[in-house]
C-alpha cells in the first residue's frame, strides 16, 4: 500500500501550489526533493497521466519503494510498473562490489541500482501476477541532485530491466527510458489507473519461513532476496574474505539488529554462498534448540551440511584462523567461558574467554547480535564486548546496523508497540492509535483467559492457515514426565484457573506424541504444550500466544520484575538490575515470534487490565 496515490499531473499541481504536506517521510517534503523533480520530469515528458504511488511498502517488509509509476506498455498495452529509488546525493564513492559510501558516513550503503534491483526481485518473487507477466516490472535509480562527475566512482554497474542509474545530467536519458516502457498517449489515463488498481490489489504469497527454505538456501541456491543493509552485511563479509586472502588481514564483522531484522537469513545465505565457493565456513550458536533444528532442517538428507552447524563452545582448541569464516548467530548468547562439566582437563587448562576463541577460529568471524535478547545470566555478547576483543586481537572491525524487521508482517508499528509496551522506549500506546497505515495487516489482541487465547489461535489456523504456539514466562514449575498406564506423559504444570497445560518436553527426556524440546517450535505436535524462552528464542511461527506470568507485572505506571514468582533457576541468581532486564528481554523475545499476529494474556489482574487497554 502506498502513502499517496495520484496522477503525475495531479501531483505536479499539488507541488506547485505547495499542498504536498501529506505526512510523508521528510525527504518527500514539498520543496527541494526528488519527488518534485521526478514529477516535473514526467509532466515534461508527456507522462502526466501516469499513476504515481509514493512510499509504497513492500509486502511482508518494513522497506518502502520511494515511487512506483503505473501505466501501460506502449507496444503491448499491458500493465507496466517502474520502481524508482530517489537519492539526494550529489557525491558518492565506491567501496567495492555493490557498496557505496556517502561523505564521511561510517556505514556504507547499497549501490542505488542494486537497491532498486533487489526491490524489483523481491516484489516479483512475492507477487504471482507480476511473476507471470514477464517484463512488467522495471527499476531505475534517480540521483536528481548529482552531476555525472560527482558520482563517477559508482558509474560502473550492471544494467538490466530492474536497474539503471540516472542523474540531473542524464535527465533526457531517463525520459527516454520511461517513455520506452510507459505509453505517453494521454488517452491511456484510464488504463494507467486500472494498472494501479491491479497492482495495489495483487495477492502476495506468504513470506518464506526460514526453516522451510533453509535446506535449499544452503544446499542448492539462494532462496531469499536480501534488501538494503542485509545485502550490505553480506557484501562486507565477502569483501573481508577476499581481503584476508590477499593480505592475511583478519576482519570481524558485527551485524546488529532486532528480532526479525534478517540476521539468521543473512547467516544462512552466507553459509550457503561461501560453501558453494569452496570456502571453509561454519555456523555456530549458543542455543541447543536452534542448532539442533538447523541441523535437522538445513541439513536434511545431507550429513556434510549437518556438520556445518556447531556450538560456541566447540572452538576451545580450534586452529588459529583455521576457517575462512565463522558465522556466530545469536551472538548475544556468548558466555565468559566455553568450559563445562564435560570439558577434558587438558582442554580446560588451555581455555580462554569464549569471545577470544571465536575470533581466533576464523579469518573473518561474523557476529549476528541483538543485545536485547540476552535472557540468561552470563550471556555477555554485546557490541562493546565484541569490538573490544576484536581490537585487542588486532582485527579490523566492520559494524552493520540492520533497519526494520521482516517478522511480524514487517510491521514497523508492532516493533514500536512492543518497545513502548515493555518500557524500552517511550510510553505505552494503544495498538489502534499507533497504527497509521491501512496496509498494516499484523493482528494484535488480548484474550480474557488462556482458553480463549488457545481457541483464537486454533481459529486463526483453521481460517488462515499457518502455525501457532503458546509460550509463557517461566513462572510455573517444570516437572519431569510421569508414567501413566505404562506410558510417559507430560505433567500439566502451567495451571491458570481450570486451564492446565504442560510445558514443552525437557531436553533429553523423550515423551511419546510430544516433540523433543529442540523441535517444539517447528514440529506441529508442539501446539498443546506451552513453550518457554529457551525453546522459542530464534524461531518463528505465524500466530503467537504469549502468557505473562507474575514475574513481570504492571503496577500503576511501570513494570515490576518479581523474583519470587520466577521458576527459572539460572535467572533467579541474577542481581536486581540484571534480573529485571533479563525478564523484560524474555517477554520481548516471546512477543516477537509471530509472523502474522499475537495474542496476549496475563494471570495478574492489573497487568491484564493494562494489556487489554493497549490491544484494541
Q: Pick left, alpha or beta for residue 508 (phi over 0 → left; psi -120 to 50 → alpha; otherwise beta).
A: left
The 3 state secondary structure assigned to 61-112 is CCCEEEEEEEEECCCCCCEEEEEEEEECCCCCEEEECCEEECCCCCCCEECH
Confidence of residue 31 (pLDDT cuts 50, 70, 90): very low
Which stretch, 107-111, 348-352, 498-502, has highest mean pLDDT? 498-502
Higher pLDDT, 145 or 22: 145
Confidence of residue 403 (pLDDT cuts 50, 70, 90): confident
Percentage of residues of the chain with pLDDT beyond 70: 94
Residue pair 324/362 in contact (Cβ under 8 Å)? The answer is: yes
pLDDT of residue 1: 65
DSSP state of 501: E
Asked if the model's pLDDT at residue 238 lies above 50, the reply is yes
Residue 555, number of CB atoms within 10 A of its CB: 12
| Amino acid 406: pLDDT | 66
Mean pLDDT comparison of 270-279, 374-383, 417-426, 444-453, highest-scoring range: 444-453
Residue 68 φ/ψ, nearest 5 degrees: -120, 125
Q: Is 208 helix (H, G, I), strand (E, B) or coil?
A: coil
Query: CA angle at residue 122 from 121 to 123, to 5 degrees?
Result: 95
Is residue 593 within 8 Å of residue 541, measured between CB atoms? Answer: yes
Residues 473-488: tens digit of each pLDDT = 999 999 999 999 889 9
Instruction: Give 289's pLDDT tier (boundaries 50, 70, 90).
Output: confident
Q: What is the pLDDT of residue 27?
A: 42
3-state SS, residue 179: helix
The most confident of the ranges 257-271, 301-315, 364-378, 380-394 is: 380-394
In 3D space, the residue among 79, 156, 154, 65 whose CA is nearest the CA of residue 116 turns out to be 65
380 DSSP 8-state letter? -
Q: What are phi and psi of 61, to 5 degrees?
A: -150, 150
Which pLDDT score, from 0 to 100, does residue 388 have? 96
Indicate the domain borders of the chain: 4-201, 210-401, 408-614
Euclidean distance between CA atoms 538 and 307, whole angstroms = 20
State the alpha helices, DSSP H only, in 279-362. Answer: 288-298, 303-306, 345-348, 354-360
CATH of domain 210-401: 3.40.50.300
CB atoms within 10 A of CB 451: 15
**pLDDT bracket for residue 18 (50, 70, 90):** low
Domain 4-201 grouped into CATH 2.10.60.10:
no
Coil, helix or strand at residue 368: strand
What is the average pLDDT across 535-541? 89
| Confidence band of 375 (pLDDT split at 50, 70, 90) | confident
* Confidence (pLDDT) at 205: 81
pLDDT tens per residue, range 412-447: 788 889 999 999 988 999 999 888 766 568 899 999
**What is the number of helices (H) and of strands (E) in the chain?**
20, 26
- For the stretch 86-104, pLDDT in tens is 999 999 998 877 899 887 7
Contact predicate 470/541, CB 8 Å: no
pLDDT at 408: 66
**C-alpha to C-alpha distance for 340 and 378, rounded to whole angstroms:** 13
pLDDT at 20: 55
Tens digits of residue pLDDT in 116-168: 999 999 999 989 999 998 899 999 999 999 999 999 889 888 889 999 999 99
Pairing status of strand 99-101 against strand 109-110:
antiparallel
Residue 280 has pLDDT above 60, yes or no: yes
Calculate the average pLDDT of the chain: 89
Is the pLDDT at 24 greater than 60? The verdict is no
- 17: Cβ–Cβ under 8 A, 6 or more apart, which residues? none
CA distance 409 to 542: 9
The confidence score (pLDDT) of residue 26 equals 42
What SS3 string covers 402-417?
CCCCCCHHHCHHHHHH
Which burial class, exposed, middle or buried, applies to 304 when counting CB atoms under 10 A from its CB (0-12, 13-18, 19+)?
exposed
Please state, for a pLDDT cut of 90, what percent of the chain lies above it.
Answer: 63
Amino acid at each position: 500500500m502506498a502513502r499517496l496515490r495520484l496522477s503525475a499531473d495531479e501531483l505536479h499541481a499539488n507541488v506547485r501550489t505547495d499542498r504536498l504536506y501529506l505526512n510523508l517521510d521528510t525527504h518527500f517534503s514539498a520543496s527541494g526533493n526528488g519527488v518534485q523533480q521526478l514529477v516535473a520530469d514526467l509532466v515534461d515528458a508527456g507522462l502526466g497521466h501516469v499513476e504515481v504511488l509514493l512510499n509504497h511498502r513492500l509486502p511482508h517488509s518494513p522497506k518502502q519503494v520511494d515511487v512506483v509509476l503505473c501505466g501501460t506498455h506502449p507496444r503491448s498495452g499491458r500493465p507496466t510498473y517502474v520502481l524508482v529509488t530517489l537519492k539526494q546525493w550529489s557525491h558518492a564513492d565506491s567501496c567495492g562490489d555493490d557498496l557505496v559510501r556517502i561523505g564521511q558516513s561510517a556505514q556504507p550503503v547499497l549501490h542505488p541500482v542494486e537497491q532498486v534491483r533487489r526491490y524489483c526481485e523481491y516484489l516479483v518473487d512475492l507477487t504471482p501476477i507480476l511473476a507471470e507477466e514477464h517484463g512488467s516490472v522495471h527499476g531505475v535509480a534517480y540521483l536528481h541532485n548529482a552531476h555525472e562527475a560527482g558520482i563517477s566512482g559508482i558509474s560502473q554497474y550492471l544494467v538490466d530491466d530492474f536497474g539503471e542509474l540516472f542523474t540531473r545530467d542524464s535527465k533526457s536519458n531517463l525520459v527516454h527510458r520511461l517513455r520506452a516502457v510507459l505509453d505517453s498517449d494521454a488517452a491511456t489515463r484510464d488504463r494507467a489507473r486500472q494498472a494501479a488498481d491491479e497492482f495495489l490489489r495483487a495477492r502476495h504469497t506468504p513470506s518464506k519461513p526460514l526453516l522451510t527454505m533453509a535446506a535449499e538456501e544452503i544446499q542448492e541456491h539462494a532462496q531469499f532476496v536480501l534488501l538494503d543493509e542485509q545485502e550490505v552485511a553480506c557484501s562486507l563479509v565477502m569483501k573481508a574474505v577476499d581481503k584476508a586472502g590477499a593480505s592475511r588481514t583478519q576482519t570481524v564483522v558485527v551485524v546488529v539488529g532486532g528480532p526479525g531484522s534478517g540476521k539468521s537469513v543473512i547467516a544462512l545465505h552466507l553459509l550457503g554462498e561461501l560453501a558453494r565457493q569452496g570456502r571453509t565456513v561454519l555456523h555456530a550458536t549458543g542455543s541447543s534448540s536452534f542448532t539442533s533444528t538447523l541441523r535437522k532442517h538445513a541439513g536434511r538428507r545431507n550429513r556434510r551440511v549437518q556438520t556445518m552447524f556447531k556450538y560456541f563452545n566447540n572452538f576451545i582448541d580450534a586452529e588459529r584462523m583455521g576457517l575462512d569464516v565463522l558465522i556466530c548467530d545469536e551472538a548475544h548468547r556468548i558466555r565468559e567461558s566455553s568450559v563445562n562439566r564435560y570439558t577434558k582437563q587438558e582442554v580446560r587448562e588451555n581455555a580462554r574467554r569464549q569471545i577470544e576463541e571465536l575470533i581466533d577460529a576464523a579469518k573473518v568471524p561474523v557476529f549476528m547480535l541483538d543485545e536485547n535478547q540476552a535472557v540468561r545470566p552470563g550471556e555477555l555478547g554485546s557490541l562493546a564486548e565484541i569490538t573490544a576483543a576484536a581490537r585487542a586481537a588486532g582485527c579490523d572491525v566492520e559494524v552493520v546496523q540492520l533497519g526494520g524487521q521482516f517478522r511480524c508482517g514487517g510491521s514497523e508499528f508492532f516493533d514500536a508497540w512492543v518497545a513502548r509496551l515493555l518500557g524500552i522506549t517511550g510510553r505505552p500506546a494503544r495498538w489502534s492509535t499507533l497504527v497509521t497505515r491501512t496496509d498494516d495487516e499484523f493482528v494484535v489482541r488480548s484474550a480474557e483467559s488462556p482458553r480463549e487465547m488457545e481457541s483464537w489461535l486454533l481459529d486463526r489456523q483453521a481460517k488462515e492457515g499457518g502455525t501457532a504456539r503458546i509460550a509463557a514466562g517461566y513462572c510455573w514449575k517444570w516437572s519431569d514426565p510421569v508414567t501413566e498406564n505404562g506410558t510417559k506423559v507430560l505433567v500439566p504444570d502451567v495451571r491458570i484457573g481450570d486451564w492446565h497445560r504442560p510445558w514443552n518436553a525437557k531436553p533429553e527426556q523423550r515423551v511419546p506424541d510430544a516433540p523433543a524440546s529442540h523441535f517444539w517450535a517447528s514440529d506441529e505436535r508442539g501446539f498443546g504444550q506451552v513453550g518457554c524462552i529457551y525453546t522459542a528464542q530464534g524461531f518463528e511461527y505465524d500466530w503467537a500466544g504469549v502468557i505473562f506470568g507474575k514475574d513481570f507485572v504492571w503496577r500503576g505506571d511501570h513494570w515490576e520484575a518479581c523474583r519470587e514468582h520466577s521458576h527459572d533457576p539460572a535467572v533467579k541468581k541474577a542481581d536486581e538490575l540484571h534480573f529485571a532486564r533479563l525478564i523484560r528481554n524474555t517477554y520481548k523475545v516471546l512477543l516477537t515470534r509471530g509472523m502474522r499476529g499475537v495474542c496476549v494474556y496475563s494471570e495478574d489482574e492489573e497487568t491484564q487490565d493494562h494489556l487489554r487497554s493497549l490491544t484494541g
